[in-house]
């Protein structure tokens, strides 16, 4: 629908509504049914907003209080504990997540994250599903004991007196990272330092440390967002983690990009200018390219506009990595699913293929990061042509850019074995970048 046709449609529709109010009622009912019944890939974000229950500030404050109580009892350690619990240099702002998600708490970090400055940060921790934090740590300790010394009765162990070797923790970490990412430490790499930080030897007496330290280390390692941010920090795709107090960790806070998935979003006054949207799209493509070419490529299995954030220098980071996986972990997730069709081999945005003969999903992903970005960020998920980051491009590139984004999001191929894939190539990514840069140059030339 062209701009003039859309304007004509809107004028006639509003006129019809004034004459016959029932038209609006019927329209809204039909739209509501479409939103509620459309399968997961289309309007999930809108449906989630309708049913999501926001977190409560009091719950977040209670979590911090529980962490600090355990710190005062020396059951929790970490470089974040002192500024959070005693110096009061970490000031609560508000909770940011939903009750069913992890804890995400906005804070102001004074003279700790950045010396001499107050900056925004976020505290994060996996939800414990109603379990007290002390019990969660005790369970983490028991799990460690089973893995390192199954002959010991975990119910009789004093965590302050029982010691675990650094070698045992290193072996457990190596096995865990290998299972999750196919990751092997380099010869000169100390895995305990990668996960905890360079000051970890201070918690050891010679080659051993007590269970208090070990179980906190283990509770951090098991949190996917913490683990993946630490292991892949040098690639600059996730926010950096400052430090932690027990299983509660603090990370950089970057403003998320607001979703443009609305009915005719370009009619809203806050709709960003094309130059801003094009530059952001180029940054997102660069991030996708880095993730695809890493030594251990990562899969973005929950991709939406608000999961991308801006650094102060304007760089893009993926700020919600709970559902980011490497091949090894995603293969396990996919192959564990029972199916009767390909539609049942889906984990969020990561799609798979169903082997009808075995009734199991194959250990593979049939789409890729670029396809999901094109489908859920560059296009609108409610109305593909009139929403999303790359809607309403300049006339000079509109036809070829819109066609390429549509191809990127929807084109599929079938191999000789019958497996259907949606995996736009590196060439598609480079073309998208080229068209976007071309539109920016032409826009700049038009201003001069």
pTM comes to 0.83
Residue 102 backbone phi and psi in degrees, to 5: -75, 170
Angle at Cα 151 formed by Cα 147 and Cα 156, nearest 5°? 95
CB contact set of 105 (below 8 Å; sequence gap of 6+): 60, 63, 64, 92, 93, 94, 95, 96, 122, 123, 124
Q: How much is the pLDDT for 182?
A: 80
Q: How far apart are the C-alpha atoms of 225 and 251, rounded to whole Å?
A: 10
Percent of the chain residues past pLDDT 90, beyond the cut: 62
Average pLDDT over residues 171-195: 86
The answer to whether residue 58 scores a pLDDT higher than 70 is yes
The answer to whether residue 39 scores a pLDDT higher than 50 is no
Q: What is the pLDDT of residues 151-175, one digit of tens each?
A: 999 889 999 999 999 999 999 999 9
| Low-confidence winner among 74-78, 94-98, 239-243, 393-397 (lowest mean pLDDT) | 94-98
Q: How far apart are the C-alpha atoms of 12 and 6, rounded to whole Å?
A: 10
Beta carbons within 10 angstroms of residue 215's beta carbon: 26
Q: What is the pLDDT of residues 271-299, one digit of tens each?
A: 788 999 999 999 999 999 999 998 889 99
Average pLDDT over residues 119-130: 92
- Residue 309 tokens read as 């954030």
The answer to whether residue 323 scores a pLDDT higher than 60 is yes
Q: How much is the pLDDT for 400?
A: 95
Q: Using alpha carbons only, how large is the chain's radius of gyration in Å? A: 25
Task: Report which secondary-structure segment, H or E, holds 33.
Answer: helix 21-37
Q: How much is the pLDDT for 268?
A: 54
CB of 226 closer than 8 Å to CB of 248? no
The answer to whether residue 77 scores a pLDDT higher than 90 is yes
Q: How much is the pLDDT for 361?
A: 96
Among 98-102, 117-121, 181-185, 269-273, top mean pLDDT goes to 117-121
Average pLDDT over residues 416-427: 93
Average pLDDT over residues 123-145: 92
pLDDT band at residue 66 using 50, 70 and 90 as cut-offs: very high
| Low-confidence winner among 257-271, 308-322, 346-360 (lowest mean pLDDT) | 257-271
CB contact set of 382 (below 8 Å; sequence gap of 6+): 35, 42, 43, 46, 261, 262, 263
- Residue 188 tokens read as 């000169």
Average pLDDT over residues 188-214: 91
Q: How much is the pLDDT for 7?
A: 45
| Low-confidence winner among 24-33, 213-222, 392-401 (lowest mean pLDDT) | 24-33
Pairing between strand 208-210 and 298-300? unpaired
Domains of the chain, residue spans: 3-37, 130-222, 265-447
- Work out whether the CA dihedral 282, 283, 288, 289 comes out positive or negative: positive
Q: How far apart are the C-alpha atoms of 6 and 420, rounded to whole Å?
A: 35
Q: How much is the pLDDT for 314?
A: 83
| Low-confidence winner among 142-146, 167-171, 262-266, 328-332 (lowest mean pLDDT) | 262-266
Residue with more model confidence, 432 or 388: 432
Q: What is the pLDDT of residues 218-236, one digit of tens each?
A: 999 999 999 999 999 888 9
CB of 169 closer than 8 Å to CB of 192? yes
The answer to whether residue 341 scores a pLDDT higher than 60 is yes
Dihedral class, residue 44 (left if φ above 0, else alpha if ψ from -120 to 50, else beta): alpha
Task: Report which secondary-structure segment, H or E, holds 10.
Answer: helix 3-19
Angle at Cα 235 formed by Cα 319 and Cα 405, nearest 5°? 65
The answer to whether residue 50 scores a pLDDT higher than 50 is no
The answer to whether residue 386 scores a pLDDT higher than 70 is no
Closest C-alpha to 48, from 105, 97, 84: 97
């Amino acid at each position: 629908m062209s701009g003039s046709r859309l304007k004509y449609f809107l004028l006639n529709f509003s006129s019809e509504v004034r004459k016959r109010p029932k038209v609006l009622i019927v329209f809204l009912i039909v739209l509501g049914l479409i939103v509620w019944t459309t399968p997961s890939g289309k309007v999930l974000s809108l449906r989630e907003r309708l049913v999501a229950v926001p977190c409560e500030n009091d719950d977040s404050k209670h979590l911090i209080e529980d962490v600090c109580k355990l710190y005062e009892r020396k059951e929790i350690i970490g470089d974040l504990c002192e500024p959070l619990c005693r110096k009061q240099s970490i000031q609560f702002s508000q909770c940011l997540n939903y009750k069913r998600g992890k804890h995400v708490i906005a804070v102001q970090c004074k003279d700790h994250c950045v010396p001499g400055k107050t900056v925004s940060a976020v505290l994060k921790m996996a939800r414990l599903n109603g379990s007290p934090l002390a019990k969660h740590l005790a369970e983490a300790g028991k799990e460690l004991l089973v893995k390192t010394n199954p002959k010991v009765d975990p119910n009789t162990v004093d965590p302050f007196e029982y010691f675990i070797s650094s070698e045992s923790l290193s072996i457990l970490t190596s096995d865990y990272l290998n299972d999750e990412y196919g990751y092997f430490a380099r010869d000169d790499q100390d895995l305990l330092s990668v996960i905890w930080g360079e000051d970890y030897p201070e918690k050891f007496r010679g080659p051993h440390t007590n269970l208090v330290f070990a179980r906190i280390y283990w509770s951090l390692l098991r949190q996917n967002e913490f683990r993946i941010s630490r292991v892949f920090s040098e690639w600059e795709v996730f926010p950096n983690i400052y430090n932690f107090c027990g299983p509660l960790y603090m990370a950089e806070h970057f403003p998320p990009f607001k979703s443009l998935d609305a009915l005719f979003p370009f009619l809203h006054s806050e709709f960003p200018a094309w130059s801003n949207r094009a530059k952001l799209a180029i940054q997102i493509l660069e991030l996708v390219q880095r993730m695809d070419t890493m030594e251990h490529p990562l899969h973005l299995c929950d991709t939406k506009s608000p999961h991308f954030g801006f650094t102060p220098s304007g760089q893009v980071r993926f700020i919600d990595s709970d559902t980011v996986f490497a091949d090894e972990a995603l293969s396990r997730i996919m192959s564990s699913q029972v199916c009767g069709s390909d539609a049942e081999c889906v984990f969020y945005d990561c799609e798979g293929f169903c082997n009808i003969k075995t009734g199991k999903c194959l250990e593979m992903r049939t789409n890729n990061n670029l396809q999901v970005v094109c489908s859920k960020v560059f296009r609108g998920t409610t109305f593909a042509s009139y929403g999303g980051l790359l809607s309403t491009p300049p006339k000079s590139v509109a036809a070829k850019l819109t066609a390429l984004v549509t191809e990127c999001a929807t084109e599929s191929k079938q191999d000789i074995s019958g497996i259907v894939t949606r995996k736009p190539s590196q060439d598609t990514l480079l073309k998208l970048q080229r068209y976007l840069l071309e539109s920016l140059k032409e826009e700049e030339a038009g201003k001069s």
